[in-house]
Amino acid sequence: MSGAVLVLDAGSSSLHLVVLDEADRVVARRDFDEATDEGVAAELEEFLGACPRIAACGHRVVHGGSHLRRPTIVDASVRASLEAVADLAPLHMPPALAALDAARRLLPDIPHAVCPDTAFHSELPKPAHTYALPREWTRRHGLRRYGFHGLSYAYATRRTAEVLGRPVAELQLLITHLGGGCSACAVRGGRSVDTTMGFTPLEGMPMSSRSGSIDPGMLLWLQNETGDGPQRLYEALIRESGLLGLSGTSGDTRELVRARAAGDTDAALALDVFTLGVRRGLAGVASSLDRIDALVFTGEIGEDQPEVREAVADGLAVLGIEGGLTSENPAEPALVSQAGVRVPVLVVPTGEVQQIARETRALLEA
């Protein structure tokens, strides 16, 4: 496919617009930190006025549900399928759909592809995606572990193979995406075989403002004890928990590292709970591998928070992983472990935009 690809990545309150040429080089970019559903169309229209000709548009969607298991060209049926699963990722899906609708209105004559974050995990082994719930629930409601951050994992897998000089098909990797949302994934031969996030992006390790997995019995107890309904508890779990809830001040690890150095014990505890949660997540999914060829950090925290990387790696001796990582934050995929270690540790800067462009081109060239 010839021509530039426009990638739209709409977050819970941000919008990233990136144009990549045929060599996947960024030729235009604009980031909006406070994008609103109403403002998306105006921001996109302004951006398009300064862009080269766009041949196709790729959209990141967090949840594809049970019907969208791979990158797909958008039509009315696909749009309806996305709407049907929007409540499973309420922070991300509504703004993504608003961006998708605006782009289709402004660019009606080019193909639009949606690239679900769940697609990378669509072939999880049955034991890895099945919940220990009554069969009637599972069958009636399609309850399963979908997994998320798939675009990030697909990119990190490919770039890790390049750094190690080995074919993707030979590698068994532990990868953790640490950002506003956090998860871990076991990758065997380029495919996800286990992951920590589940039916929604709330399951798994503690995150910036999300709780991660907690005892479901405690939620039932809280409902009875406080009288709070499901919606109030849900809001607390996704917006008031995690690092923010633990520290009482911030969900940003950079701020918490500084606060810990200044003697803030709540910040110190928040970081300890967080890094233990990451180690638990990695150790758990490692049980789905035969060996570990590398540990890979990606995501905003994974890329630029050496204190977090060190705390995670240094606590995984049971998996043959060692600390003593370099404190540099490489701009390109690189090793950060010492020479001669049993399990190399890498940092791969997030490449979701490049992965979306790659998947969009592949879809249109098929």
Concatenating the DSSP letter of every residue in 216-242 gives: HHHHHHHHHHH---HHHHHHHHHHS-H
Burial label, 229 (beta-carbon count in 10 A; 0-12, 13-18, 19+)? exposed
The C-alpha atoms of residue 162 and residue 97 are separated, in whole angstroms, by 34
List strands edge to edge, sheet with 54-61: 26-32, 15-20, 4-10, 54-61, 112-116, 72-73
The C-alpha atoms of residue 320 and residue 347 are separated, in whole angstroms, by 18
Report yes or no: 58 and 99 within 8 Å, Cβ to Cβ. Answer: no
User: Which helix (H) or strand (E) covers residue 113, if one does?
Assistant: strand 112-116
Of 117, 252, 264, 293, which residue is the catalytic one? Answer: 117
The C-alpha atoms of residue 311 and residue 301 are separated, in whole angstroms, by 13
345 token code pair: 């540790």
Concatenating the DSSP letter of every residue in 198-215 gives: -SSTTSSS--SS---S--
Residue 101 among the catalytic residues: no
Q: Active-site positions?
A: 117
